[in-house]
């Protein structure tokens, strides 16, 4: 199970930063105008839906001014409740994407036949690090080895 978490983190390093920046952008552009519009619509003691729709358009056009009004007009409690709801919704979708990007098995993204399958230098009991017939990066089949040194090439050659 540990390989799934490590693999998902390795695959999503860039996506973590992008998702945090997107979350901050959406909070400024979407959440703060919406929460301030709800605050303005319920300021008279009763919720006025007509005033909500009128102020939503105005607040979406000026999100930075609206964010400043949240702190100056005392709408911080309303902003916090809308922010918590939005953040929970956002991070649920982020977590679903994170789980779906986890590798399906321990050997995902490992080249078949590479030295990544061996551990702690096991391949160097047979292979050489420095010279011989190239098999993979830093893996050579020594030509001065006793016994069979035949090499089977699987694949095709491309000629242009």
Neighbours of 143 (CB within 10 A): 10
CA distance 104 to 2: 12
Question: Whole-model pTM?
Answer: 0.59
Long-range contacts of 11-19 (CB under 8 A, 24+ apart): 11/101, 11/103, 12/98, 12/101, 15/97, 19/94
60 SS3 class: helix
Q: What is the pLDDT along the chain (160 residues), one digit of tens a residue?
A: 576 777 777 777 888 889 899 999 999 999 999 998 888 888 878 888 888 888 888 888 888 888 888 888 888 888 899 999 999 999 999 888 888 877 777 666 666 555 555 665 555 666 667 777 777 777 777 777 777 767 676 766 666 5
CA distance 142 to 132: 4
Cα end-to-end distance, the chain, whole Å: 45
Contacts of 151 (CB under 8 A, 6+ apart): 133, 135, 141
Question: Is the separation of the CB atoms in 130 and 141 below 8 Å?
Answer: no
């Amino acid at each position: 199970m540990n390989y799934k978490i490590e693999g998902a983190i390795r695959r999503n390093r860039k996506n973590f930063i992008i998702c945090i920046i997107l979350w901050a952008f959406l909070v400024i552009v979407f959440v703060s105008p919406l929460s301030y519009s709800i605050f303005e619509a319920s300021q008279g003691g009763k919720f006025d839906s007509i005033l909500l729709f009128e102020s939503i358009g105005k607040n979406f056009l000026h999100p930075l001014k609206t964010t400043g009004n949240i702190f100056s007009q005392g709408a911080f409690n309303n902003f916090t409740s809308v922010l918590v709801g939005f953040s929970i919704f956002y991070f649920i979708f982020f977590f679903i994407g994170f789980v779906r990007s986890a590798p399906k098995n321990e050997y995902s993204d490992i080249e078949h036949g590479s030295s990544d399958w061996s551990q702690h230098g096991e391949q160097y009991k047979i292979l050489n690090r420095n010279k011989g017939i190239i098999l993979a990066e830093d893996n050579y089949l020594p030509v001065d080895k006793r016994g069979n040194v035949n090499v089977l090439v699987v694949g095709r050659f491309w000629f242009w």
